[in-house]
Amino acid sequence: MPDLTKQALRKKVISVLRRQGYNVCGDNFSLKNNSRENRRDVHLLAKAERMSENEKFIAKNIPVIKQYLIDGKKIKIDKIQPQIIEVEEGTLHEIIFKWWNLVWWSLPYERAYGRQMRFVIWDKYHNAPIGLIGLQSPILNWSVRDKKLGIPQDQRDYWVNQSMSAQRLGALPPYNYILGGKLVASLMTTDLVRKKFKEKYEGKVTILKKRKLPARLLFLTTTGAYGKSSVYNKIKIGNEAVTRFIGYTQGSGSFHIPNDLFEDFINYLGKRNYDVKRGYGSGPSTKMRLINQAMGLLDIPNGSEHGIHRAVYLFPMVKNLENVIQKSEDPVWIHRTVKSVSDYWKEHWAKPRAEKRKEYLDFFADKFMVETLEELKKYKSKVKSK
């Protein structure tokens, strides 16, 4: 890979940022418009890149996906029978998870780091996927979470490693039209998911400190991509809250730096004797550090600060979470079954929404697949033109 000069690399960075909707003035860059629509548009280049990279996989598996995609008018809400299926390598569910993860969300797919658990929420009656849950190791240093829960700095890794972050969480069509996102988010807090976590990580040794931690899933976190989320707000099972909004992120990340530009950064830093080691055990924090170092050399400090502040949601798995962390109390577990959550969702969310709004009846699998192929062509063209 040729070594770009400082001037050439800076010029490329500025061009990429401007194409995504940023103003660049001197050593600062900021969003031209902070509306929700513009914040969504800012992610288009990153999503186009991920879609283009996986073009063959997406196109090849359209027949597979279509086989398990139903028209909205075929849904019988009373008959919906959700199951939580853990995704295993080399299975049909892995294909389904990866395909929808790439295609459906406007927030671009990012490779998961550290501990990972993937689930497909499956409708046994209609033989179709309802939604996805993609869990990974959380960010270690996250002030909005640590302050809210009172996590001591010297014990941060102990408590954070007893949680997971939902990198991908939501419903697929046509279930999204009947508030399937609330079902998927609620099912993430069931006893079954907690049991799967314990089975997978019981007795495992941590990478950095080489120690065994309790295989307890005390809480989960996720973020609303473009601010507060109507899906996560005020989810309850009876009188018990499933989610808690706890604040906003500081607006840092790496999505605004395309993969090819990031590789230019690695090359630029490496030839200047910076530590560019990546691999198992390095995660989002490492990538942001490298972005900041490279852009700092290009006279654009704080390069990982993209300016989009995401809403942060907490999903407690215990009733006394703060006291477990701050006072060493034994966890008082919240017990939820797949059936109890599903029954509540159907009666309190799915049926009322279906009666009030009929958009789900206008979802057609064939039409969606045609539109997906058209989008894939547009994304490919967008990547080529960058």
Give me the pLDDT at residue 284, please. 67
Rounded CA gap, 298 and 290, in Å? 13
Residue 386 in this model has a pLDDT that exceeds 80: no
Give me the pLDDT at residue 207, please. 64
Give me the pLDDT at residue 197, please. 97
Using a pLDDT cut of 70, give the percent of the chain over it: 95
Rounded CA gap, 291 and 309, in Å? 19
Residue 154 in this model has a pLDDT that exceeds 60: yes
- Looking at per-residue pLDDT, the higher value among 284 and 117 belongs to 117
Residue 135 in this model has a pLDDT that exceeds 70: yes
Using a pLDDT cut of 90, give the percent of the chain over it: 64
Rounded CA gap, 56 and 126, in Å? 28
* pLDDT band, very low/low/confident/very high, at 208 (cuts 50, 70, 90): low
Rounded CA gap, 44 and 21, in Å? 10
Only one residue has tokens 């059936």, namely: 339
Give me the pLDDT at residue 325, please. 97
Cα 142 versus chain centre, distance: 16
Kindly give the pairing relationship between strand 163-171 and strand 128-136: antiparallel
pLDDT tens by residue, 86-123: 999 999 999 999 999 999 988 777 777 789 999 999 99
Do residues 162 and 214 touch, judged by C-beta distance below 8 A? yes
Q: Which tokens go with 124?
A: 């046994």
Residue 8 in this model has a pLDDT that exceeds 60: yes
Q: Where are the domains of the chain?
A: 33-251+307-384
pTM: 0.89
Rounded CA gap, 327 and 299, in Å? 46
Q: Flag the least confident range among 17-26, 165-174, 195-204.
A: 17-26
pLDDT tens by residue, 210-247: 778 899 999 999 998 777 888 898 899 999 999 999 99
Give me the pLDDT at residue 164, please. 96
Rounded CA gap, 56 and 96, in Å? 15
Residue 11 in this model has a pLDDT that exceeds 90: yes
pLDDT tens by residue, 35-48: 777 777 777 778 88
